[in-house]
Amino acid sequence: MRLNQLGLWVLLTCFCLLSPTHAAAGAQTSANCTRTVRVGTFDQAAPYSVAAITRWVDDGGTCWTYWRQAFGLRALELLDRGDLDLAILGSTPYASSVARGAKVTAVSVLKNIAGSEGVVACEQVDRLQAMRGKIFMAPYASTAHYTLLATIVEAGIDVNEVTVLTRAPAEIVAAWDAGEIHGGACWGACIAHMLSTPRGGDIVPGHVVVDAGTVGRWNYRTFDVLAANDAFLARSPDLVGKAVDAFARASYDYEASFGTTGGWAYDGGAYLGLVQEFANLAGGSRTRDDVAAAMARDEYPTTTAQLADPIWSPTRSQAVFLFDQKALFVDPREQDQAFYEAAFDPSSLKIASTETTPLGASPRALPLATIAPLLPSPDGGCAPVGIVSLVSSVGKDAATLADGSAENRAYAPSATCLWAVATPGTRSCVDFEVSFLSSEAPYDRLEVFDAGGTLRATYLGRSGAAQPAVRACFDDAVDDERRVATCRGLLDGSDVADPEDGSDAADAACDGVEKTVLYVRWATDADDETPVPPVRVGFAATAKLVDLAAPCGCVHGAERDGANPGECSCVCDPGWGGAFCEVPYCVGVVDLARDGGTIRAAPAGHDYASFARCGWKISTRGARNRVALSFDGMIDVEPVYDSLRVYASHAVEGYAAVADTAAAGAMCTPSNTMLKAPMLFESDVLVTFESDGLVGRSGFELNWALVKPDCASQCVHGSCDVNDACICEAGWYGLDCAANACFGPTKLSARGGRIKSGNAMDYASLMVCTWVLDADPPSRILRLRFRSIDLEPIGREAVAADTIKVYAGGLEGLPVRTINARIPAIPNYKGPPKWLVQGTSGGVDTFTSDDELEVDLGDARSATIVFNSDAANPKAYEGFDLDYAFSADYCNAVWPCAPLYVCEDLACVEAPSPSSKKKSSSDDTAWIVVVAIAASLVFLGAVGWAVKFYRSTRKMETERAVLVRDQLNEAKSLVSDFQAPFCTIAGDAFVALGELVPHEVLRDKGAVRVYDVTANLKKARADGEEVFVFLSHQWLAYDNPDPEGVHFAAMTHAVGLAAAKAGVPLSKLRVWVDIVSIPQVNRSSQRLAVASLPTFASCCDLFIVVAPDATHHDTLLKCDSKTFRSRSWCRAEISACWARNGTENMFYATNSGLKLLAPNGALRPEALEVFSGGLTCCGLNHPDGMPCDKEALMLPMLGLFIEIYAQRGAKRDAWHRVAPRLDALYPKHFEYTTCAGDGGASVTETLPLFGDLIEAAMASVDAGKGPRELMYGYAPGASARSRDKVHAGRSSLLRGLIPKHSGSQSERSLRSLFRGLRPSSSRTSMASTKSTRSSPCTPCRTVSSEGSTAELPILRTSVSA
């Protein structure tokens, strides 16, 4: 046993011996138990843990044992198979079990998870977006796994940008300490360790990035349930009710008195001490404060609250999320509400009668004496290798094998023990029988192999049912070398083969195994269930010589034909297993010696077993036979979770001690939906079946036979060649070309050809297809062209593994090309996927089915193409159809030759040239004439081009002047009056809303008053003495301005202060606030209103900033007055109000009243820097080429500048603030970044913003130009309207004026005319379409004339658009 395990055992033993309560409890035994209830628990601190650490629930001969589980999926599997009767499950594994139809029912909701679980990370991950590119771990299909995935999705991160590994909590702790991960999601001792211990190589301990409670408020609620095995619930409803009542009573007592005097007191509370002791049973060191804090972070509902909680809805939601994330492979949407409601049985809650009774009172007061757990063996238990020789007379020589555990100690974790059972002679057999078994399935197991290394049986679990026997006889065909190799193979990965001191003791350990008949291996994992109270665990078995004269005694089968006298063996009926065909399920690997038959995993009328691992060997017996398999019977296996495979080898890993490295994967993985076509194999075949721990089904019926090759009768979709081999049509596979989907390896030797994945309309899950391409003759270049391609794409919220990979040579090393599809990371994207090809350098290019892909194979001169599909496809995909060719000169109907070349024998050769003719004396004269005419044409063309160039240049200058004039006129128009109706709500009506309500709702109720032009507003102000208030704030969620009501509370307070300030009642106050006043449904109306924001802000009597301290609901970043001032739209509102009205009526709303925004009359300098502030569109990198809000803001801000400049005498203070900073406040250009549709790559362009419009505006005002006069010599600015039309990044002006021919002299000349419109380095591509590696999108930056840049945070502005 490893040193740390030994130290842990000693520490816990000493703790138990020193505790008087343990000593008292130790005197109690379970000898008088008539019934035993097995409950699965975790190391979490919870009030109901007091039941597990005491004998509180025991009575009337019923004893309760509590088995600690590593995570929920383990508990779920043991509960479904009957190894546990009750178990605490997180809502995520429970949701999986319901969707899959497991034999499990929830009977109570124990707690709503909040702060006891969460995502913990190292110092580098200081915010959610910093999770990109990092590695995180979580237990598979657990609530922590769900929380982690939901966090990634809600942070707006493509899950492909984060590496999520699923590991047990102990493995997460080990990886954290080793510095192998950046964070993880877990609970109990795992999260406590990460929060108190620095990650390997770090100085600072981990911190909580987000807890489950916060994620729950994002509509990803998690909770724990108490679940029951359905058979146990039907058999013992009284015991289930007793558990529900006890757990509810403990939780109620805790909620009623936690932290006060009594058992739950922080200081000295006995109940809190019991929970602490339970939490540390497996060697934890959590303090009382740690335990108290962990429990306080969660909520424990009463039985009344549970009965009112429709948990079917979050259960189904979790299942749907897991399915979309490829963590569940059964579509939950196929079941209705009633199905999920039936998975929760509230009957025990309805009769729970003692919930409100204190724990110390009758009935059944909680005892304070605790029970010592069953701890692992300190000496490692069984010996690593033992030689068991059976040499005495039959029936008297029976060797006993055991794991080394005892009544007061469990078997050792991380152990591998091996027994080699030998017989005295060549004519002898051994029967192996298991008399006792209690292990944690499938992680702790007992396996039996024959001398040649074939798996014959696996034993696991603690169901108590009779175990099948194994009979093995001495086999002369297995030589001593093979026996030793088997021994070594069974020790691979153990401390014997790979000891910590670096030595290799396997050779010595395997010395003396020459007479071995069978091997018995006992292997355990690192986790221990720590049962409380102690119960017997492990195994006991015997190996004894067989009486050769005794009959076989086949129960459900017949004696094998041709068996040697005395070496009888049974041929079982389909589905029966064991040496005597005594159990109704398959066991180990069976040799099929007949010429045909049927294979089943369980007999008719039975479901196959959980954790099955069975195999059937079929040999061709070397007579030019073929193995024919036909799935024309039943196939009813749970897709993905349970698998049926066919290998062209007998030595397959998991079924043989020494695997055949050439068996590189399954030849076929049939699913329930595949065409059940017969398949032929030329070699020996191994059929395997494996199941997981849930949901047994009827299985399958596979017929097999040995047949002679006959191409004429067997070739289904192909033609016979001269060698009588069936040459398949495209998309058909197998020796008989009968399979409509690819499987296994296919060898192709030619200069080119066609590869089609299949002819099925929906390819299967977990496919592995390989095509080995040998170029004839050898070639360095492989060309690929797709006729069609339809694969499951990688989405923003799930990783798909449906890929085509191209390797140079064999499968060694990395693929030189990886081809897949991706859905662009754009919200609500509905378009087609983008096809990507990635090289070894990591660069990603896009391509279409019309493109030719060229692959450099280097020195390999051959290629291997592999097609993999992942575990589940939510819809049908057809696969791909491609043509390939080696070398550039290959040709056929698909690959035509270039001009001047013709195709001969599948190669392009130069076309023959016409016969040359003799020159005549007149040829020279003709040549001179031709040259003269050509020279004249060139001269005339040059003159014409010059004239045309002058006219086009003049035309472009005029068009540019027109655009500048129109932009100046439009800017003045935008600020002269409203561009959209100005909508307000009365102050008293606003306060009565209770929350921020969208514009359309209030409009339909008649609560909104509309002012179409500024004149109407002025008239209303004069006639009704109304006061107009503009409330400016920052949104606290992407899709909701105020999800938790923080801003509304501050706004109602501000409105009251405004009424007091103005001296009017609330009813005379007219309030403008974005969500209320701007249309939210009609996007056209919304855009017009948004463009009018500066005008709206400047027309109000009071401008009030509402920016209390809050947390952004989606980014979890702090939002306050500082972040408000960082937003471009907020700065625009401030600038507009200041430019027209000064700072006198601009305020911050605080708890103590309205405070001036500029106490000394001067705004902060950054308040005027509108275009260096943050914008949501820039933070999202303008998906699909959406316009930037900077362009929408440009003209209104230009209009306000024109006002300031035109009235600079009257507005001297404003002009003096602006004049020295014109280039910084009104940048000529800005950098526009958009996420390309190729899966996250980005393209950055430097685009015009103000251009020369500021200079043009000043010149226009100074010259007194009218609205129709042109402005020559100035570059125009941006136009959001043209951006709407031209999403590719070019303005409509440039699109029409600049020629398409890149790099021509005319283009360079024309570009020089537009020097002010766009810099010469106008386009920086971060995603070359051919070879440049894609970059993740970066925030938008504004570039002033000085070249300064500002990074922008991703936060929503006060505009809902």
Roughly what angle, to the nearest 10 degrees, separates helices 1189-1206 and 1253-1263? 30
Q: Half-sphere exposure (CA, 13 Å, Cβ side) for 1152?
A: 2
Backbone angles phi, psi at 1333, to 5 degrees: -70, 140
Distances (CA, A) of 137 to 44, 93, 526, 794: 18, 17, 18, 21
Give pLDDT, residue 923: 53
CB 691 within 8 A of CB 609: yes
State the Cα–Cα distance between residues 1314 and 965, nearest whole angstrom: 16
Backbone angles phi, psi at 1190, to 5 degrees: -60, -40
Least confident of 19-33, 217-231, 449-463: 19-33
pLDDT category at 458 given cuts 50, 70, 90 is very high
> Which residues does residue 679 pair with via DSSP β-bridges, in sequence order?
629
Q: Is pLDDT above 50 for 23?
A: no
Q: Half-sphere exposure (CA, 13 Å, Cβ side) for 1170?
A: 30
Question: How many CB atoms neighbour CB 1309 within 10 A?
Answer: 12
**3-class DSSP state of 286:** coil
CA-based nearest residue to 40, from 117, 102, 104, 118: 104
Q: Could you tell me where the beta strands, DSSP code E, fall in 337-415?
A: 385-389, 398-402
Give pLDDT, residue 151: 92
State the Cα–Cα distance between residues 1338 and 1351, nearest whole angstrom: 9
Ranges 527-531, 1224-1228, 1291-1295, most confident: 1224-1228
Q: Is pLDDT above 50 for 1340?
A: no
Least confident of 667-681, 838-852, 1197-1211: 667-681
**3-class DSSP state of 493:** coil
CB 488 within 8 A of CB 496: no
Mean pLDDT across the chain: 80
Q: Half-sphere exposure (CA, 13 Å, Cβ side) for 756?
A: 19
Backbone angles phi, psi at 200, to 5 degrees: -50, 120
State the Cα–Cα distance between residues 775 and 586, nearest whole angstrom: 45
Residues of the chain with pLDDT > 90, as a percent, come to 29
CB 1030 within 8 A of CB 1070: no
pLDDT category at 1204 given cuts 50, 70, 90 is confident
* Two structure tokens written together for 796: 């923003």
Distances (CA, A) of 1059 to 805, 1024, 1102, 1153, 1197: 69, 15, 10, 12, 30
CB 579 within 8 A of CB 475: no
Q: Which residues contact 22 (CB under 8 A, 6 or more apart)?
A: 16, 370, 371, 372
Give pLDDT, residue 33: 79
Burial group, residue 904, by CB count within 10 angstroms (0-12, 13-18, 19+): exposed
Side chain identity at 88, as an amino acid letter? Answer: I
CB 875 within 8 A of CB 812: no
Render pLDDT for 134-155 as a digit per residue (tens, 0 to 9). Answer: 999 999 889 999 999 999 988 8
Ranges 65-74, 239-248, 845-854, 886-895, most confident: 239-248
Give pLDDT, residue 826: 60
State the Cα–Cα distance between residues 1079 and 1090, nearest whole angstrom: 9
Q: Is pLDDT above 60 for 1202?
A: yes
Mean pLDDT of 278-288: 82
Mean pLDDT of 810-830: 77
Give pLDDT, residue 1315: 32
DSSP letter string, 899-915: TTEEEETTEEEEPPPPP
Give pLDDT, residue 196: 92
State the Cα–Cα distance between residues 589 and 645, nearest whole angstrom: 13
Render pLDDT for 285-307 as a digit per residue (tens, 0 to 9). Answer: 888 888 888 898 899 999 999 99
* Two structure tokens written together for 1245: 């362009």
Side chain identity at 798, as an amino acid letter? Answer: A
Q: Is pLDDT above 50 for 626?
A: yes
State the Cα–Cα distance between residues 224 and 109, nearest whole angstrom: 6
> Containing H/E element for 322?
helix 312-324
Q: Whole-model pTM?
A: 0.66
Render pLDDT for 1145-1197 as a digit per residue (tens, 0 to 9). Answer: 888 887 667 888 887 677 777 788 899 888 888 888 888 778 888 988 898 89
Give pLDDT, residue 562: 56
State the Cα–Cα distance between residues 630 and 994, nearest whole angstrom: 69
CB 660 within 8 A of CB 649: yes
CB 117 within 8 A of CB 143: yes
Render pLDDT for 1274-1312 as a digit per residue (tens, 0 to 9). Answer: 889 886 444 443 333 333 322 233 233 333 332 323 233
**Cα angle: 412, vertex 414, 419; to 5 degrees:** 75
* Two structure tokens written together for 657: 């001690």
Mean pLDDT of 187-207: 92
State the Cα–Cα distance between residues 414 and 498, nearest whole angstrom: 13
Render pLDDT for 336-383 as a digit per residue (tens, 0 to 9). Answer: 899 999 999 999 998 877 788 888 787 778 888 778 887 887 666 777
Distance of CA 107 to the CA centre of its chain: 30
Residue whose tokens read 């790559």: 1241
Distances (CA, A) of 1260 to 367, 968, 1075, 1208, 1212: 92, 9, 38, 15, 19
CB 896 within 8 A of CB 903: yes
Render pLDDT for 956-986 as a digit per residue (tens, 0 to 9). Answer: 788 888 888 888 888 888 888 888 899 999 9
CB 1357 within 8 A of CB 1173: no
pLDDT category at 1318 given cuts 50, 70, 90 is very low
State the Cα–Cα distance between residues 799 and 791, nearest whole angstrom: 13
**Cα angle: 804, vertex 810, 814; to 5 degrees:** 60
Q: Could you tell me where the beta strands, DSSP code E, fall in 1107-1145?
A: 1110-1111, 1118-1119
State the Cα–Cα distance between residues 857 and 372, nearest whole angstrom: 65
Give pLDDT, residue 246: 93
CB 146 within 8 A of CB 222: yes
